[in-house]
Chain A
Amino acid sequence: MTELLNSIIQGILIGGLYALFAAGLSLVFGIMRIVNLAHGDLIVAGSFLMYSAASVLGLPIWVAALLVLPVMALLGYGLQRSLINHTIGTNVLPPLLVTFGISIILQNGLLQLFTADNRKLDFGAIEVMSLKAGPISVGWYAILVFAVSVATIWGLQVLSFHTRLGRVLRATTDDPEVARVMGVRTEHVFGIAMAIALVICGIAGVLLSAWTSFTPLSGPSRLLIAFEVVVIGGLGSIWGTLIGGVVLGVAQALGGYFDPAWQTLAGHISFIAILALRPQGIMGGRRQ
Protein backbone atom coordinates (compact mmCIF):
# COMPACT_ATOMS: atom_id res chain seq x y z
CA MET A 1 0.00 0.00 0.00
CA THR A 2 2.72 2.48 0.93
CA GLU A 3 4.57 1.44 -2.16
CA LEU A 4 1.52 2.33 -4.24
CA LEU A 5 1.23 5.66 -2.44
CA ASN A 6 4.90 6.34 -3.08
CA SER A 7 4.41 5.59 -6.79
CA ILE A 8 1.47 7.97 -6.99
CA ILE A 9 3.41 10.76 -5.30
CA GLN A 10 6.30 10.12 -7.65
CA GLY A 11 3.83 10.27 -10.55
CA ILE A 12 2.45 13.61 -9.41
CA LEU A 13 5.93 15.05 -9.07
CA ILE A 14 7.07 13.95 -12.53
CA GLY A 15 3.77 15.35 -13.79
CA GLY A 16 5.20 18.79 -13.14
CA LEU A 17 8.05 18.05 -15.49
CA TYR A 18 5.62 16.70 -18.09
CA ALA A 19 3.68 19.93 -17.84
CA LEU A 20 6.89 21.77 -18.72
CA PHE A 21 7.29 19.56 -21.78
CA ALA A 22 3.80 20.54 -22.82
CA ALA A 23 3.81 24.25 -21.96
CA GLY A 24 6.09 25.24 -24.84
CA LEU A 25 4.28 23.04 -27.35
CA SER A 26 0.94 24.50 -26.29
CA LEU A 27 2.21 28.10 -26.42
CA VAL A 28 3.52 27.64 -29.95
CA PHE A 29 0.38 25.85 -31.11
CA GLY A 30 -1.85 28.52 -29.62
CA ILE A 31 -0.13 31.41 -31.29
CA MET A 32 0.91 29.95 -34.65
CA ARG A 33 -1.44 26.95 -35.01
CA ILE A 34 1.49 24.68 -35.71
CA VAL A 35 2.82 21.62 -33.94
CA ASN A 36 6.56 21.61 -33.64
CA LEU A 37 7.64 18.02 -34.27
CA ALA A 38 11.18 18.88 -33.16
CA HIS A 39 9.90 19.89 -29.71
CA GLY A 40 11.10 16.69 -28.00
CA ASP A 41 14.48 16.84 -29.69
CA LEU A 42 14.86 20.42 -28.53
CA ILE A 43 14.28 19.27 -24.92
CA VAL A 44 16.99 16.68 -25.48
CA ALA A 45 19.20 19.37 -27.03
CA GLY A 46 18.72 21.29 -23.77
CA SER A 47 19.95 18.25 -21.85
CA PHE A 48 22.98 17.94 -24.10
CA LEU A 49 23.77 21.63 -23.77
CA MET A 50 23.65 21.13 -20.00
CA TYR A 51 25.85 18.08 -20.33
CA SER A 52 28.37 19.99 -22.45
CA ALA A 53 28.50 22.94 -20.08
CA ALA A 54 28.62 20.91 -16.87
CA SER A 55 30.52 17.76 -17.78
CA VAL A 56 32.63 18.75 -20.77
CA LEU A 57 33.46 22.35 -19.84
CA GLY A 58 33.28 21.54 -16.12
CA LEU A 59 31.21 24.58 -15.17
CA PRO A 60 29.33 24.55 -11.85
CA ILE A 61 25.78 23.19 -12.16
CA TRP A 62 24.08 26.53 -11.55
CA VAL A 63 26.24 28.39 -14.02
CA ALA A 64 25.74 25.69 -16.63
CA ALA A 65 21.98 25.73 -16.12
CA LEU A 66 21.79 29.50 -16.46
CA LEU A 67 23.93 29.34 -19.58
CA VAL A 68 21.64 26.83 -21.30
CA LEU A 69 18.59 29.09 -21.20
CA PRO A 70 19.81 32.07 -23.27
CA VAL A 71 21.33 29.67 -25.80
CA MET A 72 17.97 27.93 -26.15
CA ALA A 73 16.21 31.29 -26.51
CA LEU A 74 18.55 32.32 -29.33
CA LEU A 75 18.15 28.94 -31.01
CA GLY A 76 14.36 29.29 -30.85
CA TYR A 77 14.29 32.79 -32.24
CA GLY A 78 16.74 31.84 -34.99
CA LEU A 79 14.87 28.69 -36.04
CA GLN A 80 11.59 30.56 -36.12
CA ARG A 81 12.81 33.52 -38.15
CA SER A 82 14.96 31.52 -40.56
CA LEU A 83 12.75 28.48 -41.22
CA ILE A 84 9.45 28.06 -39.45
CA ASN A 85 8.01 31.52 -40.20
CA HIS A 86 8.15 30.69 -43.89
CA THR A 87 5.85 27.71 -43.41
CA ILE A 88 3.01 29.43 -41.57
CA GLY A 89 -0.20 29.64 -43.55
CA THR A 90 -3.43 27.80 -44.07
CA ASN A 91 -1.83 24.48 -44.99
CA VAL A 92 -0.91 22.18 -42.08
CA LEU A 93 1.70 20.21 -44.01
CA PRO A 94 4.62 22.63 -44.48
CA PRO A 95 5.22 23.39 -40.79
CA LEU A 96 4.90 19.70 -39.90
CA LEU A 97 7.31 18.62 -42.60
CA VAL A 98 9.84 21.35 -41.90
CA THR A 99 9.85 20.73 -38.14
CA PHE A 100 10.08 17.00 -38.89
CA GLY A 101 13.18 17.78 -40.95
CA ILE A 102 14.61 19.84 -38.08
CA SER A 103 13.91 16.91 -35.76
CA ILE A 104 15.85 14.48 -37.95
CA ILE A 105 18.76 16.90 -38.29
CA LEU A 106 18.88 17.50 -34.52
CA GLN A 107 18.73 13.79 -33.66
CA ASN A 108 21.45 12.83 -36.08
CA GLY A 109 23.56 15.90 -35.36
CA LEU A 110 23.53 15.04 -31.65
CA LEU A 111 24.26 11.44 -32.53
CA GLN A 112 27.30 12.54 -34.52
CA LEU A 113 28.55 14.79 -31.70
CA PHE A 114 27.75 12.70 -28.64
CA THR A 115 27.30 9.09 -29.92
CA ALA A 116 24.33 6.95 -28.91
CA ASP A 117 25.63 6.36 -25.36
CA ASN A 118 23.34 6.88 -22.40
CA ARG A 119 24.18 10.07 -20.49
CA LYS A 120 23.12 11.27 -17.11
CA LEU A 121 24.34 14.21 -15.08
CA ASP A 122 25.15 14.01 -11.40
CA PHE A 123 23.79 16.93 -9.42
CA GLY A 124 25.33 15.64 -6.20
CA ALA A 125 23.84 14.93 -2.80
CA ILE A 126 20.36 16.28 -3.56
CA GLU A 127 19.70 13.32 -5.83
CA VAL A 128 19.93 10.80 -2.99
CA MET A 129 18.42 12.82 -0.17
CA SER A 130 14.79 12.19 0.57
CA LEU A 131 12.01 13.55 2.68
CA LYS A 132 10.57 10.88 4.94
CA ALA A 133 7.16 11.07 6.54
CA GLY A 134 6.40 7.77 8.23
CA PRO A 135 6.48 5.05 5.58
CA ILE A 136 6.42 7.57 2.74
CA SER A 137 9.66 8.74 1.28
CA VAL A 138 9.99 11.35 -1.45
CA GLY A 139 13.26 12.36 -3.07
CA TRP A 140 14.25 15.98 -2.62
CA TYR A 141 15.30 16.21 -6.23
CA ALA A 142 11.80 15.17 -7.35
CA ILE A 143 10.35 17.85 -5.09
CA LEU A 144 12.77 20.42 -6.49
CA VAL A 145 11.85 19.46 -10.05
CA PHE A 146 8.15 19.78 -9.27
CA ALA A 147 8.69 23.15 -7.56
CA VAL A 148 10.71 24.52 -10.49
CA SER A 149 8.09 23.26 -12.93
CA VAL A 150 5.20 24.84 -11.07
CA ALA A 151 7.17 28.07 -10.68
CA THR A 152 7.91 28.12 -14.42
CA ILE A 153 4.27 27.60 -15.31
CA TRP A 154 3.25 30.26 -12.82
CA GLY A 155 5.83 32.55 -14.41
CA LEU A 156 4.34 31.87 -17.82
CA GLN A 157 0.91 32.73 -16.44
CA VAL A 158 2.22 36.03 -15.02
CA LEU A 159 3.97 36.81 -18.28
CA SER A 160 0.78 36.14 -20.24
CA PHE A 161 -1.61 38.15 -18.12
CA HIS A 162 0.45 40.90 -16.53
CA THR A 163 2.97 42.11 -19.08
CA ARG A 164 2.91 43.95 -22.36
CA LEU A 165 4.58 41.01 -24.10
CA GLY A 166 1.91 38.67 -22.72
CA ARG A 167 -0.84 40.95 -23.98
CA VAL A 168 0.71 41.03 -27.42
CA LEU A 169 1.10 37.24 -27.39
CA ARG A 170 -2.54 36.73 -26.44
CA ALA A 171 -3.75 39.26 -29.00
CA THR A 172 -1.68 37.54 -31.70
CA THR A 173 -3.09 34.18 -30.58
CA ASP A 174 -6.61 35.60 -30.98
CA ASP A 175 -6.13 37.22 -34.36
CA PRO A 176 -2.68 37.61 -35.93
CA GLU A 177 -4.03 39.63 -38.85
CA VAL A 178 -5.57 42.31 -36.67
CA ALA A 179 -2.58 42.26 -34.33
CA ARG A 180 -0.52 43.29 -37.34
CA VAL A 181 -2.94 46.11 -38.06
CA MET A 182 -2.28 47.33 -34.51
CA GLY A 183 1.40 47.57 -35.39
CA VAL A 184 2.55 44.19 -34.06
CA ARG A 185 5.32 42.66 -36.15
CA THR A 186 3.95 39.15 -36.00
CA GLU A 187 7.04 37.49 -37.46
CA HIS A 188 9.02 38.92 -34.54
CA VAL A 189 6.35 37.92 -32.02
CA PHE A 190 6.41 34.37 -33.41
CA GLY A 191 10.18 34.37 -32.91
CA ILE A 192 9.79 35.54 -29.32
CA ALA A 193 7.11 32.90 -28.68
CA MET A 194 9.42 30.16 -29.99
CA ALA A 195 12.26 31.58 -27.87
CA ILE A 196 10.06 31.37 -24.77
CA ALA A 197 8.99 27.84 -25.71
CA LEU A 198 12.61 26.79 -26.05
CA VAL A 199 13.60 28.39 -22.75
CA ILE A 200 10.93 26.18 -21.17
CA CYS A 201 12.35 23.23 -23.13
CA GLY A 202 15.76 24.23 -21.77
CA ILE A 203 14.51 24.23 -18.17
CA ALA A 204 12.93 20.81 -18.78
CA GLY A 205 16.10 19.55 -20.43
CA VAL A 206 18.28 20.70 -17.52
CA LEU A 207 15.99 19.16 -14.91
CA LEU A 208 15.72 15.94 -16.88
CA SER A 209 19.47 15.62 -17.41
CA ALA A 210 19.87 14.41 -13.81
CA TRP A 211 16.48 12.74 -13.44
CA THR A 212 16.98 9.96 -15.94
CA SER A 213 19.46 8.97 -18.61
CA PHE A 214 19.10 10.34 -22.11
CA THR A 215 20.44 9.72 -25.61
CA PRO A 216 20.21 11.75 -28.84
CA LEU A 217 17.20 9.61 -29.74
CA SER A 218 15.19 10.35 -26.59
CA GLY A 219 13.39 13.28 -28.24
CA PRO A 220 10.39 11.56 -29.84
CA SER A 221 9.20 10.02 -26.57
CA ARG A 222 9.40 13.48 -24.94
CA LEU A 223 7.37 14.94 -27.81
CA LEU A 224 4.69 12.29 -27.38
CA ILE A 225 4.47 13.02 -23.66
CA ALA A 226 4.22 16.75 -24.34
CA PHE A 227 1.53 16.19 -26.91
CA GLU A 228 -0.49 13.82 -24.72
CA VAL A 229 -0.34 16.28 -21.84
CA VAL A 230 -1.65 19.08 -24.04
CA VAL A 231 -4.57 16.98 -25.26
CA ILE A 232 -5.37 15.59 -21.79
CA GLY A 233 -5.18 19.01 -20.16
CA GLY A 234 -7.08 20.80 -22.89
CA LEU A 235 -5.76 23.12 -25.57
CA GLY A 236 -4.94 26.66 -24.64
CA SER A 237 -5.09 26.35 -20.88
CA ILE A 238 -1.85 27.08 -19.02
CA TRP A 239 -2.94 25.40 -15.78
CA GLY A 240 -4.54 22.64 -17.84
CA THR A 241 -1.04 21.55 -18.84
CA LEU A 242 -0.16 21.05 -15.17
CA ILE A 243 -3.27 18.95 -14.61
CA GLY A 244 -2.59 17.02 -17.82
CA GLY A 245 0.99 16.43 -16.71
CA VAL A 246 -0.09 15.12 -13.33
CA VAL A 247 -2.76 12.86 -14.86
CA LEU A 248 -0.23 11.38 -17.28
CA GLY A 249 2.44 11.07 -14.57
CA VAL A 250 0.05 9.26 -12.22
CA ALA A 251 -1.26 7.02 -15.02
CA GLN A 252 2.30 5.99 -15.84
CA ALA A 253 3.14 5.48 -12.16
CA LEU A 254 0.10 3.27 -11.64
CA GLY A 255 0.87 1.27 -14.77
CA GLY A 256 4.47 0.90 -13.67
CA TYR A 257 3.39 -0.14 -10.18
CA PHE A 258 1.51 -3.16 -11.49
CA ASP A 259 4.05 -4.07 -14.16
CA PRO A 260 7.16 -2.00 -14.94
CA ALA A 261 6.72 -2.71 -18.65
CA TRP A 262 3.31 -1.07 -18.56
CA GLN A 263 4.55 2.35 -17.44
CA THR A 264 4.69 4.06 -20.85
CA LEU A 265 1.81 2.03 -22.23
CA ALA A 266 -0.49 3.11 -19.38
CA GLY A 267 0.28 6.73 -20.25
CA HIS A 268 -0.58 6.25 -23.93
CA ILE A 269 -3.77 4.36 -23.09
CA SER A 270 -4.96 7.05 -20.68
CA PHE A 271 -4.44 9.51 -23.52
CA ILE A 272 -6.54 7.48 -25.95
CA ALA A 273 -9.22 7.00 -23.30
CA ILE A 274 -9.48 10.73 -22.67
CA LEU A 275 -9.49 11.40 -26.37
CA ALA A 276 -12.37 8.99 -26.84
CA LEU A 277 -14.38 10.13 -23.81
CA ARG A 278 -13.59 13.84 -23.50
CA PRO A 279 -11.89 15.10 -26.68
CA GLN A 280 -11.76 18.70 -25.50
CA GLY A 281 -9.48 17.68 -22.59
CA ILE A 282 -10.02 18.01 -18.87
CA MET A 283 -9.73 21.79 -18.68
CA GLY A 284 -10.65 22.55 -22.27
CA GLY A 285 -13.81 24.53 -22.71
CA ARG A 286 -13.11 26.49 -25.82
CA ARG A 287 -12.28 24.58 -28.95
CA GLN A 288 -10.15 26.03 -31.68
Chain B
Amino acid sequence: MSLLSTHGLDAFYGDFQALYGVNVALEEGQCVALIGPNGAGKTTLLRALMGWVPVAEGMVLFDGHQIGGASPDRTVAMGIASVPEGRRLFPSLTVDENLIMGRESGRRGAWTLDGIYDLFPSLRGRRGHLGSGLSGGQQQMVAIGRALMANPRVLLVDELSLGLAPTVVNDIARALPRIRETGVSIMLVEQDVRRALSLSDYAYCILEGRINLQGPSGELEFGDIEKSFFGEAA
Protein backbone atom coordinates (compact mmCIF):
# COMPACT_ATOMS: atom_id res chain seq x y z
CA MET B 1 0.00 0.00 0.00
CA SER B 2 1.23 3.46 -0.87
CA LEU B 3 2.03 5.95 1.85
CA LEU B 4 0.14 8.75 0.09
CA SER B 5 -2.13 8.33 -2.92
CA THR B 6 -4.99 9.96 -4.78
CA HIS B 7 -7.96 8.13 -6.26
CA GLY B 8 -9.89 9.76 -9.07
CA LEU B 9 -9.05 13.18 -7.67
CA ASP B 10 -11.23 16.02 -8.98
CA ALA B 11 -10.42 19.53 -7.78
CA PHE B 12 -12.12 22.86 -8.44
CA TYR B 13 -11.39 26.56 -8.06
CA GLY B 14 -14.88 27.94 -7.89
CA ASP B 15 -16.54 26.87 -11.15
CA PHE B 16 -13.28 26.01 -12.80
CA GLN B 17 -12.24 22.35 -12.70
CA ALA B 18 -8.47 22.08 -12.38
CA LEU B 19 -8.00 18.30 -11.94
CA TYR B 20 -9.87 15.42 -13.58
CA GLY B 21 -9.72 11.97 -11.98
CA VAL B 22 -6.05 12.10 -11.10
CA ASN B 23 -4.37 9.00 -9.62
CA VAL B 24 -0.87 9.38 -8.20
CA ALA B 25 0.96 7.39 -5.52
CA LEU B 26 3.96 8.00 -3.31
CA GLU B 27 5.61 4.97 -1.71
CA GLU B 28 7.38 5.08 1.64
CA GLY B 29 10.93 6.38 1.12
CA GLN B 30 10.30 7.37 -2.50
CA CYS B 31 10.77 10.69 -4.26
CA VAL B 32 8.11 11.44 -6.87
CA ALA B 33 8.26 14.32 -9.32
CA LEU B 34 5.27 16.10 -10.89
CA ILE B 35 6.14 17.73 -14.19
CA GLY B 36 4.11 19.59 -16.76
CA PRO B 37 3.63 23.02 -18.26
CA ASN B 38 2.41 26.04 -16.32
CA GLY B 39 -1.22 25.86 -15.30
CA ALA B 40 -1.42 22.09 -15.85
CA GLY B 41 -2.57 21.45 -12.29
CA LYS B 42 0.63 20.41 -10.52
CA THR B 43 0.31 23.01 -7.80
CA THR B 44 -3.39 22.27 -7.44
CA LEU B 45 -2.54 18.62 -6.86
CA LEU B 46 -0.10 19.49 -4.07
CA ARG B 47 -2.64 21.88 -2.60
CA ALA B 48 -5.28 19.18 -2.62
CA LEU B 49 -2.88 16.86 -0.78
CA MET B 50 -2.11 19.43 1.90
CA GLY B 51 -5.69 20.58 2.28
CA TRP B 52 -5.62 24.04 0.68
CA VAL B 53 -8.07 22.99 -2.00
CA PRO B 54 -11.21 21.22 -0.83
CA VAL B 55 -11.68 17.71 -2.22
CA ALA B 56 -13.86 14.72 -1.33
CA GLU B 57 -12.71 12.61 1.58
CA GLY B 58 -12.07 9.36 -0.25
CA MET B 59 -9.97 10.95 -2.99
CA VAL B 60 -6.83 11.14 -0.85
CA LEU B 61 -5.41 8.23 1.16
CA PHE B 62 -2.58 8.66 3.64
CA ASP B 63 -1.23 5.67 5.53
CA GLY B 64 -4.51 3.86 4.95
CA HIS B 65 -6.74 6.72 6.13
CA GLN B 66 -9.05 8.84 4.00
CA ILE B 67 -7.85 12.42 4.48
CA GLY B 68 -9.31 14.30 1.49
CA GLY B 69 -10.65 17.69 2.56
CA ALA B 70 -8.78 17.77 5.89
CA SER B 71 -7.57 21.31 6.63
CA PRO B 72 -3.82 22.07 6.32
CA ASP B 73 -3.31 22.22 10.09
CA ARG B 74 -4.62 18.65 10.35
CA THR B 75 -2.66 17.25 7.42
CA VAL B 76 0.58 18.64 8.80
CA ALA B 77 -0.23 17.16 12.21
CA MET B 78 -0.63 13.80 10.46
CA GLY B 79 2.81 14.18 8.90
CA ILE B 80 2.40 15.91 5.53
CA ALA B 81 4.51 19.07 5.57
CA SER B 82 4.84 21.46 2.67
CA VAL B 83 7.06 24.04 1.06
CA PRO B 84 4.53 26.36 -0.56
CA GLU B 85 4.95 27.92 -3.98
CA GLY B 86 6.96 31.13 -3.68
CA ARG B 87 8.50 29.99 -0.36
CA ARG B 88 6.28 32.35 1.64
CA LEU B 89 8.43 32.86 4.71
CA PHE B 90 6.95 34.94 7.49
CA PRO B 91 8.60 38.26 6.60
CA SER B 92 8.58 39.79 10.08
CA LEU B 93 9.96 36.67 11.77
CA THR B 94 13.67 35.88 12.00
CA VAL B 95 15.15 32.78 10.37
CA ASP B 96 15.19 31.05 13.76
CA GLU B 97 11.57 31.97 14.38
CA ASN B 98 10.50 30.88 10.92
CA LEU B 99 12.07 27.49 11.51
CA ILE B 100 10.54 27.16 14.97
CA MET B 101 7.10 27.84 13.45
CA GLY B 102 7.51 24.43 11.83
CA ARG B 103 7.11 22.89 15.27
CA GLU B 104 3.54 24.18 15.64
CA SER B 105 2.21 20.91 14.24
CA GLY B 106 3.21 19.31 17.52
CA ARG B 107 5.20 16.48 15.87
CA ARG B 108 8.46 15.68 17.59
CA GLY B 109 11.30 13.73 16.02
CA ALA B 110 14.84 13.82 14.74
CA TRP B 111 14.79 17.27 13.10
CA THR B 112 15.94 20.12 15.32
CA LEU B 113 17.20 23.64 14.71
CA ASP B 114 20.78 22.34 14.78
CA GLY B 115 19.89 19.61 12.30
CA ILE B 116 18.55 22.20 9.87
CA TYR B 117 21.64 24.39 10.24
CA ASP B 118 23.83 21.33 9.60
CA LEU B 119 21.83 20.61 6.46
CA PHE B 120 22.06 24.21 5.23
CA PRO B 121 25.22 25.64 6.85
CA SER B 122 24.91 28.96 5.05
CA LEU B 123 21.80 29.74 7.12
CA ARG B 124 23.64 29.54 10.42
CA GLY B 125 25.08 33.03 10.13
CA ARG B 126 21.65 34.42 9.29
CA ARG B 127 19.75 33.08 12.27
CA GLY B 128 18.76 36.50 13.56
CA HIS B 129 17.93 38.00 10.17
CA LEU B 130 14.36 38.62 9.09
CA GLY B 131 12.93 36.19 6.57
CA SER B 132 12.30 39.05 4.16
CA GLY B 133 15.99 39.99 4.06
CA LEU B 134 17.32 36.71 2.63
CA SER B 135 18.31 35.77 -0.90
CA GLY B 136 15.92 33.56 -2.86
CA GLY B 137 18.04 30.47 -2.32
CA GLN B 138 18.31 31.05 1.39
CA GLN B 139 14.57 31.60 1.57
CA GLN B 140 14.03 28.26 -0.12
CA MET B 141 16.36 26.63 2.41
CA VAL B 142 14.42 28.17 5.29
CA ALA B 143 11.14 27.07 3.72
CA ILE B 144 12.41 23.49 3.43
CA GLY B 145 13.88 23.60 6.93
CA ARG B 146 10.63 24.98 8.31
CA ALA B 147 8.72 22.08 6.79
CA LEU B 148 11.25 19.56 8.11
CA MET B 149 10.86 20.96 11.62
CA ALA B 150 7.43 19.34 11.56
CA ASN B 151 9.24 15.98 11.36
CA PRO B 152 7.02 14.92 8.50
CA ARG B 153 6.66 11.55 6.83
CA VAL B 154 5.90 13.27 3.52
CA LEU B 155 7.44 16.50 2.26
CA LEU B 156 5.58 18.32 -0.52
CA VAL B 157 7.81 20.78 -2.37
CA ASP B 158 6.22 23.21 -4.83
CA GLU B 159 8.59 24.70 -7.42
CA LEU B 160 11.92 23.69 -5.97
CA SER B 161 14.09 25.73 -8.35
CA LEU B 162 11.80 28.47 -9.65
CA GLY B 163 13.62 31.78 -9.90
CA LEU B 164 16.87 30.48 -8.37
CA ALA B 165 20.38 30.48 -9.84
CA PRO B 166 21.57 27.00 -10.96
CA THR B 167 24.42 26.86 -8.43
CA VAL B 168 21.99 27.64 -5.62
CA VAL B 169 19.64 24.95 -6.86
CA ASN B 170 22.53 22.48 -6.82
CA ASP B 171 23.16 23.26 -3.16
CA ILE B 172 19.51 22.68 -2.33
CA ALA B 173 19.22 19.58 -4.52
CA ARG B 174 22.23 18.06 -2.74
CA ALA B 175 20.27 18.23 0.50
CA LEU B 176 17.38 16.12 -0.82
CA PRO B 177 19.13 12.72 -0.58
CA ARG B 178 20.14 13.57 2.98
CA ILE B 179 16.54 14.38 3.79
CA ARG B 180 15.41 11.07 2.26
CA GLU B 181 17.97 9.21 4.37
CA THR B 182 16.04 10.25 7.46
CA GLY B 183 13.00 8.41 6.15
CA VAL B 184 11.10 11.36 4.63
CA SER B 185 9.25 10.66 1.36
CA ILE B 186 9.16 13.55 -1.07
CA MET B 187 6.76 14.74 -3.75
CA LEU B 188 8.05 17.68 -5.72
CA VAL B 189 6.85 19.96 -8.47
CA GLU B 190 9.67 20.98 -10.75
CA GLN B 191 9.78 22.91 -14.00
CA ASP B 192 13.23 21.69 -15.00
CA VAL B 193 12.47 18.25 -16.44
CA ARG B 194 16.05 16.92 -16.40
CA ARG B 195 16.52 17.92 -12.80
CA ALA B 196 13.15 16.49 -11.85
CA LEU B 197 14.06 13.14 -13.39
CA SER B 198 17.49 13.06 -11.78
CA LEU B 199 16.11 13.75 -8.32
CA SER B 200 13.12 11.42 -8.40
CA ASP B 201 12.39 7.68 -8.55
CA TYR B 202 9.11 8.07 -10.37
CA ALA B 203 7.52 10.88 -12.33
CA TYR B 204 4.07 11.97 -13.49
CA CYS B 205 3.45 14.34 -16.37
CA ILE B 206 0.31 16.43 -15.96
CA LEU B 207 -1.44 18.26 -18.77
CA GLU B 208 -4.71 20.14 -18.50
CA GLY B 209 -5.61 18.49 -15.21
CA ARG B 210 -4.92 14.91 -16.31
CA ILE B 211 -1.96 12.54 -16.00
CA ASN B 212 -0.87 11.82 -19.55
CA LEU B 213 2.46 10.11 -18.95
CA GLN B 214 4.07 8.35 -16.01
CA GLY B 215 6.84 5.95 -15.22
CA PRO B 216 10.05 5.30 -13.29
CA SER B 217 12.22 8.38 -13.74
CA GLY B 218 15.10 6.38 -15.20
CA GLU B 219 12.94 4.90 -17.94
CA LEU B 220 11.11 8.03 -19.12
CA GLU B 221 12.45 9.42 -22.37
CA PHE B 222 12.98 13.17 -22.47
CA GLY B 223 11.49 13.29 -25.93
CA ASP B 224 8.30 11.58 -24.79
CA ILE B 225 7.95 14.05 -21.97
CA GLU B 226 8.41 16.94 -24.36
CA LYS B 227 5.66 15.51 -26.56
CA SER B 228 3.39 15.01 -23.56
CA PHE B 229 3.78 18.71 -22.78
CA PHE B 230 2.09 19.45 -26.07
CA GLY B 231 -0.62 16.86 -25.59
CA GLU B 232 0.72 14.34 -28.09
CA ALA B 233 0.58 10.67 -27.19
CA ALA B 234 3.93 9.27 -26.11
On A, residues with C-beta under 8 Å from B are: 167-168, 170-171, 173-175, 177-186
Contacts and interface: CB of A to CB of B under 8 A. Distances in A.
A86 B108 CA distance: 32
Nearest to A161: B97
A178 B92 contact: no
A183 B73 contact: yes
Interface stretch (B99-107, B110-118, B218-226): B99-107
B123 interface: no
Contacts of A184: 73, 101, 104
B89 to A, nearest CB: 8
Contacts of A170: 90, 92-93, 97
Contact of B73 (A171, A174, A185): A185
B97 A175 contact: no
Max chain A CB contacts within 10 Å: which of B72, B76, B97? B72
A152 to B, nearest CB: 22
A171 B101 contact: yes
A167 B100 contact: yes
A123 B101 CA distance: 45
Given A170-B92, A174-B92, A175-B88, A181 B97 contact: no
Interface string B158-184: 000000000000000000000000000
B155 interface: no
Given A180-B71, A180-B73, A183-B73, A167 B101 contact: yes
Contacts of B104: 168, 179, 182-184
Nearest to A171: B90
Contacts of B106: 183
B175 to A, nearest CB: 20
A235 to B, nearest CB: 13
B91 interface: yes
A184 B77 CA distance: 10
17 contacts: A167-B101, A170-B92, A170-B93, A170-B97, A171-B97, A174-B91, A174-B93, A178-B88, A179-B104, A180-B71, A181-B52, A182-B76, A182-B101, A182-B104, A182-B146, A183-B76, A183-B104
Contacts of B97: 167, 170-171
A177 B92 CA distance: 15
Contact of B101 (A173, A177, A179): A179
